[in-house]
Structure 1
Amino acid sequence: MLSSRTPNKVGEFMKVVAIIQARMGSTRLSGKVMKDIKGKTVLSHVIERVKQSKLITDIIIATTVLERDSVIDMEAIKCGAKVFRGSEDDVLSRYYYASKENNADVVVRITSDCPVIDPFVIDEIITFYLKGKYDLVTNAGSDITQRTYPRGLDTEVFSIESLEASFINAKEKHQREHVTPYIYENSNKINYFKNDIDYSKHRWTVDTKEDFELITEIYDKLYKGNHDFHLNEIIELFKQDPNLFSINAHIEQKKTK
């Protein structure tokens, strides 16, 4: 159940909006967000898991105006999420207009290819952001040496003011395509949220057929109709079956520039 407002540290209330970017035209695994895992789409699983967050007010699926992405629009609505449609290439503008349309105070950026996204981690990052004075808090980010969470649990939290500054000032192509590079490149108020144990070697996103094979294996072993498995349960699964790691260990992450 999504809350109507999230209290911040001084007792005021802020609208925390999760914006999940999604499109059918992925370069490495086309149509990946509509692929089936245990009878539901990847996008459906992502939405269900984000709904478990106790601090997120609204979930917006930000897709493009292209006709091929109408299937994403329909799936998102079926899953109980809102939809915003905007530019395919200028993802920054898509996020900005989606945020403004939905009166966001705080934006939580999530991508639609992360079907084991962890709502508990999301809420920890949101809480940390609300207690501090940061332009952005992330467990991912541009500096990969700071990463301690598996890829696929990536969460970025920032204010509407930071997003608006990026929207107005970002001029470079990569700054428009990837939403947050302008903040990373122009702010000294960024916090890399870290786990006590470094699990950064794990890759739990869906960008290639090998990634999809691994996620399918995880779901086959842990999903019994409910999203009751999260970071700790998946790590335990890998301890029991170390061969899982080899399925996509050779895949390199795409560069953002």
Structure 2
Amino acid sequence: MILTIVQARMGSKRLPGKALASLHGQPMIWRQLERLRGARCGAKVVVATSCEASDDPLAGWLVSQGQAVFRGAPTDLLDRFTRCALSAGPVSHVVRIKGDAPFVDGRLVDEAVRLAWTTGAAYVSNREPASYPAGLEVEVVTMSALAEVAAEPRETLARVSPTAAIRSRPDRFRQASFRHPRDLSGFDWRVKTAADLAFARSVYAALHPADPDFGLEDVLDLVGGGIDLASYAAA
């Protein structure tokens, strides 16, 4: 089984509660999950959040919507990520998605999973070398590699990033990557601030009604077409 884990928390310092912030009539996390369901690789999707009380509203809302949730260590993301994968049952590959990415594209998930299968790589991503806008990163790791590094003593970096110990060791873990034909790494479409959320709301208001599965090129056409995004309602 392929498992997609979305890391999400409510405790952002710059934009607290952003996972449940409204984005075109639904919480941002729900819009992200909708887009991930468009992937054809058949991955099961779980939201991994912390066991802290501050994340109770997020976990409670998701469970009320029938969404699978795993709760684990607040600061040791490698531990939380690994335990989440192990609790899901027999898993061959794990897809990592961050929870501040409302423009995540299921097509990129499919491409990453396809590359993981065809190459046999332990780690696949589109982040190195960077060519996609920030917020469209996809990482795929084998369950065997993840379990291996999780069982070892680790430094701080490995705790705050569940894939750092794997991607930093290409000599030990075979790696593969894919990139966009153009260098779009100058764009940052993550939601980390109120301004970022306003941008996401404007884009969703412009594109979502006609095509809920709008893609990267649609957003590029919108932002590069001289359209006044402020004219769209921040729904």
TM-score, scaled to structure 1? 0.83
Q: Is residue 2:36 matched to residue 1:36?
A: no
Q: Check the 8 A contact 1:170/1:176 in 2, yes or no.
A: no
2:43 to 57, 68, 78: 57
State the one-letter code of the partner of 2:136: L
Secondary structure at 2:12 match in 1: coil
Runs (5+) with no aligned partner, structure 2: 230-235
Q: Quick one: distance in 2 between partners of 1:48 and 1:222?
A: 15
Q: Quick one: distance in 2 between partners of 1:113 and 1:191?
A: 24
Secondary structure at 2:221 match in 1: helix
Q: Check the 8 A contact 2:119/2:176 in 1, yes or no.
A: no
> By how many angstroms is 1:184 displaced?
1.8
State the one-letter code of the partner of 2:197: F
Q: Deviation per CA, 1:47-99, whole angstroms, max 9, x where unpaired? A: 11101111133111101111221111123224442111000101111110110
Alignment length (residue pairs): 226
Q: Which has the higher contact order (CA 8 A, sep 6+)?
A: 2
> By how many angstroms is 1:187 displaced?
2.5
1:1-257 equivalences under 5 Å are: 15-103=1-89, 104-141=91-128, 146-188=129-171, 189-224=174-209, 227-241=212-226
State the one-letter code of the partner of 2:163: T
> By how many angstroms is 1:228 displaced?
2.5
Q: Quick one: distance in 1 between partners of 2:30 and 2:44?
A: 15
Q: Quick one: distance in 1 between partners of 2:210 and 2:25?
A: 10
TM-score, scaled to structure 2? 0.91
Secondary structure at 2:204 match in 1: helix
Distance change in 2, residues 1:85/1:232 (3 Å) = same
Give the superposed CA RMSD: 1.6
Deviating runs (4+, > 4 A) in structure 1? none
Secondary structure at 2:3 match in 1: strand
Q: Deviation per CA, 1:216-244, whole angstroms, max 9, x where unpaired? A: 12112111175221111111112212777
State the percentage of identical aligned residues: 27
Q: Check the 8 A contact 2:124/2:140 in 1, yes or no.
A: yes
Secondary structure at 2:41 match in 1: coil
> By how many angstroms is 1:122 displaced?
1.1
Runs (5+) with no aligned partner, structure 1: 1-14, 245-257
> By how many angstroms is 1:124 displaced?
0.9
Secondary structure at 2:168 match in 1: helix
Q: Quick one: distance in 2 between partners of 1:151 and 1:243?
A: 22
